[in-house]
Amino acid sequence: MEKSRAHEKKLWVLIGGILLIMALGTYAIVSAVRLVVRQVQQSAQKAEQVIRPVTDLSNGVATQLAQILKPTPTVIVDPLTIVHQVRSLARLETIQYTVEKVITAETGQGALGYFFGDRLLFVAHGIVIAGLDLQKLGPENLRVQNNVLYIQLPDPEIFIATLDNEKSYVYNRDTGVLTKGDTNLESLARRGAEEAIKEAAIEDGILKLARLNAENYLSRLLIEIGNYDEVIFIYPTPIPEP
């Protein structure tokens, strides 16, 4: 009986020792793992500190390279301004046209056009303003008879024919395989576009409408101011039908 109890006591002591050894081993393993993780994290932080300047340098070089290959245009305005002429105007603007035209400009379109030719399509969006220059109107052009005012108005004219640069653009351009293209071709297209939108407005009857609008405005104004019974307009030059 005593031997059995002694044997059981030894067994429990053995089991307790094994459990203690296992606990100490587990603690040692956990401590070692924590130490390894801490060392890995420190190494990663050091690597990041080393890599970050290299990455920043690479990004900076890439940005500078992109600016060299695709530079952003910079417009620098000279602070010096020169006024060449100041002139007083008495223009009565009575109508405005908005015109869009497609202009073709080309050069070298011969037998060797595939090699040396240059051709572009330019979409021109322009504004044409017409009216009467009242500075040409003097006392000799006015006459009153039986409370009727006779006015010899100057001929209507085009005051402005210009491109809207924000809406005008080069739609397409084809250059020969052996040429870089004519640097003046777009400038020539723009000058031709201004003349084209002006001619288009004239063909559409802008001058006739400018005269009609001027008559309507001036007749109401002069009858109200001068208490005339009627205002009759006389023109030195008839405007041909468009």
Residues 110, 68, single domain; the answer is: no
**Is pLDDT above 90 for 70?**
no
**Is pLDDT above 90 for 207?**
yes
Residues 115, 198, single domain; the answer is: yes
Domain of 108? 91-234
pLDDT confidence tier of residue 54, bands split at 50, 70 and 90? very low
Residues 42, 159, single domain; the answer is: no
What is the C-alpha separation between 200 and 50, in angstroms, rounded? 68
Residues 39, 149, single domain; the answer is: no
**Plot region of 146 (φ>0 → left; ψ -120 to 50 → alpha; else → beta):** left
Residues 138, 201, single domain; the answer is: yes
**Is pLDDT above 80 for 172?**
yes
Give CA separation, 169 vs 99, 100, 186, 200, in Å. 14, 11, 10, 19
pLDDT at 226: 81
Q: What is the SS3 string spanning 46-64?
A: HHHHHHHHHHHHHHHHHHH
Question: Please, what is the average pLDDT of the chain?
Answer: 77
Token couple for 162 = 């210009």
Work out the widest C-alpha separation in the chain, in whole angstroms. Answer: 158
- Per DSSP, the three-state class of 188 is helix
Residue 240 lies in a domain: no
Return the percentage of the chain with pLDDT > 70, whole number: 64
pLDDT confidence tier of residue 109, bands split at 50, 70 and 90? confident
**Is pLDDT above 70 for 14?**
no
Show the DSSP H helices in the chain as ranges: 2-69, 113-116, 185-203, 206-226
pLDDT at 67: 57
pLDDT confidence tier of residue 241, bands split at 50, 70 and 90? low
Residues 42, 95, single domain; the answer is: no
Residue with tokens 């039908």: 241
pLDDT confidence tier of residue 15, bands split at 50, 70 and 90? low
Q: How many domains does the chain have?
A: 2
Residues 63, 98, single domain; the answer is: no
Number of H helices, E strands in the chain: 4, 7
Residues 14, 127, single domain; the answer is: no
For 176-197, the pLDDT digits (tens) are: 777 677 778 888 889 999 999 9
pLDDT confidence tier of residue 107, bands split at 50, 70 and 90? confident
Residues 111, 213, single domain; the answer is: yes
Average pLDDT for 190-211? 93
pLDDT at 58: 55
Residues 24, 112, single domain; the answer is: no
